[in-house]
């Protein structure tokens, strides 16, 4: 079952982060996406694909405040990730991985009680709408390789190194 898209004052904005420019999509319901797009165009395309019937306004000032809260103060603002029950279970498991540590796709599958669903877990991790706050960057392959990351392996490496400090 999918949650409702952002209903109350949906907006998006851009801000600097320790990992490059980020785009934060939010409403009064919380943050529904945090991405590291290559361009304004790719960010807006992503927003339109994720939330096809929602009219967003741009609010860079609030995005900068949220980014400061997340990356400078280390606070975790209210989130509103939109996904299936299975995706929500995976994303909740990701949030239990301590900062600076990693786990594997298989361990996440075990954690949600679906040990044979490793590929489905990987797909759910890849669909994570809220990068960094839902820490999909903390998941690596069983062989110790970094695996993939939608925003690039360099970004994933930077996040892991930053968290270890």
Specify the CATH number for the domain of residue 137: 1.10.10.10
Count of domains in the chain? 2
Q: What's the CA gap between 65 and 84, in Å, rounded? A: 29
* Per-residue model confidence as pLDDT tens digits over 67-103: 999 999 999 999 999 999 999 999 999 999 999 999 9
Same domain? For 55 and 101 the reply is no
Q: Is residue 39 part of a domain?
A: yes
Q: What is the DSSP letter of 165?
A: -
Is-contact 139 103, C-beta < 8 A? yes
Higher pLDDT, 80 or 4: 80
| pLDDT for the residue numbered 71 | 96
Same domain? For 89 and 158 the reply is yes
Domain enclosing residue 133, as ranges: 85-164
Average pLDDT of the chain is 92
Collapse the DSSP code of 75 into the 3-class scheme (helix H, G, I; strand E, B; otherwise coil) and give the result: coil
The question of whether 23 is a catalytic residue gets the answer: no
pTM for the model stands at 0.91
Q: What's the CA gap between 150 and 165, in Å, rounded? A: 23
Tell me which of 22, 23, 32, 136 is the catalytic residue.
136
Q: Is residue 116 part of a domain?
A: yes
Average pLDDT over residues 44-68: 93
Q: What's the CA gap between 140 and 159, in Å, rounded? A: 13
Q: Is residue 109 part of a domain?
A: yes
Same domain? For 89 and 145 the reply is yes
**pLDDT at residue 48 tops 50:** yes
């Amino acid at each position: 079952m999918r949650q409702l898209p952002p209903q109350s004052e949906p907006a998006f904005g851009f801000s600097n982060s320790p990992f490059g420019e980020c785009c934060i999509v939010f409403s009064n319901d919380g943050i529904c996406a945090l991405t590291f797009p290559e361009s304004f165009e790719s960010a807006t395309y992503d927003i339109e694909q994720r939330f096809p019937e929602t009219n967003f306004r741009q609010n860079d000032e609030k995005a900068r405040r949220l980014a400061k809260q997340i990356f400078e103060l280390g606070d975790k603002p209210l989130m509103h990730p939109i996904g299936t029950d299975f995706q929500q279970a995976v994303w909740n498991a990701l949030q239990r991985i301590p900062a600076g540590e990693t786990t594997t796709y298989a361990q996440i599958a075990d954690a949600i009680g679906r040990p044979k669903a490793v590929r489905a877990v990987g797909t759910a991790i890849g669909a994570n709408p809220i990068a960094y706050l839902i820490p999909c960057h903390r998941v690596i392959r069983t062989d110790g390789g970094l695996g993939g990351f939608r925003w690039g392996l360099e970004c994933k490496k930077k996040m892991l190194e930053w968290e270890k400090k």
